[in-house]
Chains A and B, each alone.
Chain A
Amino acid sequence: MLFNNKKRNEAVDILADRIVAGFSPAQDRPKGTDWIPKRATEPIRIEEASEALIAPSETIKDQLASMFKNNKVALVSAIVIVVFIIGTLFAPLFAPCDPYVQDLGNRLAAPSIHHLLGTDNYGRDILSRMMYGGRVSLLVGIVPTCIYMAIGTILGLIAGYCGGIVDSIIMRVADVFMAFPSMLLAILISYTLGAGMLTIFCALSFVSWGGTARVVRSEVLSLKEKEYVEAANSIGVKTWVILLKHILPNCVPTLIVLFTMNVPGNILTESGLSFLGIGAQPPSTSWGLLVFQMKKYLSKSPIATLAPGIAILILVVAFNFLGDALRDKLDPQLKD
């Protein structure tokens, strides 16, 4: 019987590595006959190397580690994103001040020790407001993305695998949805539901699935021709199992990359909507709203409006770089 999981992997790795990598470089035959050892012509048989693996096992950790080692930009981006997420998620712990406390004697102050980014028009600490506001921005960036990507993936899988009329219908519906500018739809929804987080969530979660569906569909179209899918069919595997076990896992790299590229888009959209006044409503705040609220004080305290804007910029760029690196890393992996 074989060893249990972790031990098993380690033991086999050692075996494989020893087999594959164990040799030192060869020496050419020297001149003359003095170097010839005794019994040099005795027959020998080397078995092990014949069944070795051609590549060592690489866990996800190893792969990510090698990606970050080679691509410093991606590493920095990942760190930035993590810092932002932790900073905003644990805002109550890390924020230097209470974002709602007003200090009317200290309005629009320049950055100082107490207020690292200065204060806003009510004397509230900008850094703290940004940390709390970041929660909203990130939340709206990530959660609706997850929702619409899930919708898009499911529909894309069905469209791609079933083909025919089902495919046509889903794709035409997707086209209709994609033709809608999400901003405009958000504005329309806000007239019905009123401005606020619910509006934005609805607007962003249910409209943008078209792009994902299209991408997933084209992946599925190429994947379903692969011989391992045909093999699964010939074994008698049910269709939904094929979709779940064979096709979806092979779409994951594309989806990961798509995710890292969609999130910044959503953050920007949310910022835009808040800027227009339809998004986060006071007293809660988001970066977009901060930019909007502080823009009238641009001349008096430029940092008040620029800081959240730059934060958005940094986060979007970080996601894009990380997405690029992930795509480069994951794609060649699939091509043997």
Chain B
Amino acid sequence: MSDKKTIFQIRGLKTQFFTKKGIVPAVDGIDITVKQGEAVGLVGESGSGKSMTAMSVMQLLQKPGKVVDGEILLDGENLLDKSMKEIDEIRGNRISMIFQEPMTSLNPVYTIGKQVSEAILTHENVSKEEAKERAIDIFRKVGIPEPEKRYGAYPHQLSGGLRQRVMIGMAMVCNPELIIADEPTTALDVTIEAQILYLMNQLQKEKNTAIVMITHNLGVVAQSCDYVYVMYAGKIMEEASVKALFKNPQHPYTFGLMNSIPKMTETKEHLFTIRGMVPNLLHLPKGCRFCTRCDKAMKICTEYQPELYETEEGHKVRCFLYDKEVMESGK
């Protein structure tokens, strides 16, 4: 665990959207560490900022969004200091991204073979024939049947599952150090999802690629991640190894999330609920962002924001309940 090299780090990242109605702090100071070959999960609901984090890393933010603070370190180099040209070289090559909707992220007017070859040719100095060979090879690896024939297929001729395999192939073809997968299986059927998750797991182990898996599905996280960060309204609320998180969710939000999912094995009378709804990022509550929905909220929670406290090794929580000083002095 700790002897693995850290290849990717986000430190204090702040991304804000400057809209007419005000400044939206989509990502508000997060720290993420990814070690080589590790699968890190980024869990959150809508408005949590998880997709914006991915966009900030890949420098794909649309106006009026902007990264206002923080560092994104790939092997120690800060990506935010680099020029667009350097970022282009890194994208697809050292960091790749897999998106949620394979239909809209594949260009419909080019064949899938051409798109993957193009990805290879952009980053590596090989001949067209060699690029084609490698493309067919990666198609075979990701489980696309009859890869030579499918080389000339267009995205609309493939099903959702196959398209997602193409996306995975395209992401892996240049052997990146890190893959960011933004809800890669949300749009897929359950049996296809299982295949894709298995495939990603296999490839990741084989090539020792680190992966950041962004999702709202706790089941996916449990099955495919090693370490998990839970985001809410732009901040990280809890982080832990996957086993520790599921065994002992400490933050009231994580606890609520885990218990509000119906389990496959029991039927309760009433599902646990987190009351209220995700706050409007323009009008965040004073104090802890979760205080308006928290059953364990205290007076202090409505005035100050807690920091991330380390409760056990590798398990951090952003909640005053775990702040020893507050709990003792605040009586």
Interfacial residues, chain A to chain B (CB-CB below 8 A): 20-30, 32-33, 36-46, 49-51, 54
Contacts and interface: CB of A to CB of B under 8 A. Distances in A.
Nearest to B328: A33
Interface of B: 275-277, 279-280, 283-289, 291-293, 295-307, 320, 323, 325-327, 329-331
Contacts of B284: 23, 25-26
B285 A41 contact: no
Nearest to A41: B330
Given A39-B330, A41-B326, A50 B301 contact: no
Given A39-B299, A40-B300, A49 B276 contact: yes
Contacts of A41: 298-300, 320, 326-327, 330-331
Nearest to A26: B305
B305 A54 contact: no
Contacts of B288: 26
Nearest to A70: B20
Contacts of A29: 304-307, 323
Helix, strand, loop or mixed for chain A's interface?
loop
A87 B293 CA distance: 59
A33 B325 contact: yes
A21 B281 CA distance: 11
A26 B292 contact: no
Q: Counting chain A CB atoms within 10 Å of each CB, which of B285, B286, B304 scores highest?
A: B304
A40 B330 contact: yes
A243 B62 CA distance: 39
Nearest to A30: B304
Given A36-B329, A41-B327, A24 B299 contact: no
Contact of A44 (B301, B305, B325): B301
Given A28-B304, A41-B298, A41-B300, A50 B285 contact: no
Contacts of A27: 286, 303-305
Contacts of A26: 284-289, 304-305
Nearest to B288: A26
14 contacts: A26-B284, A26-B288, A27-B305, A36-B300, A36-B325, A37-B299, A37-B303, A37-B330, A41-B298, A41-B327, A44-B298, A44-B299, A49-B292, A50-B276
B297 A44 contact: yes
A36 B330 contact: yes
B330 to A, nearest CB: 3
Nearest to A46: B292
Nearest to B289: A26
A50 B320 CA distance: 21
Contact of B283 (A21, A39, A42): A21
A4 to B, nearest CB: 29
B221 to A, nearest CB: 26
A40 B326 contact: yes
A38 B331 CA distance: 6
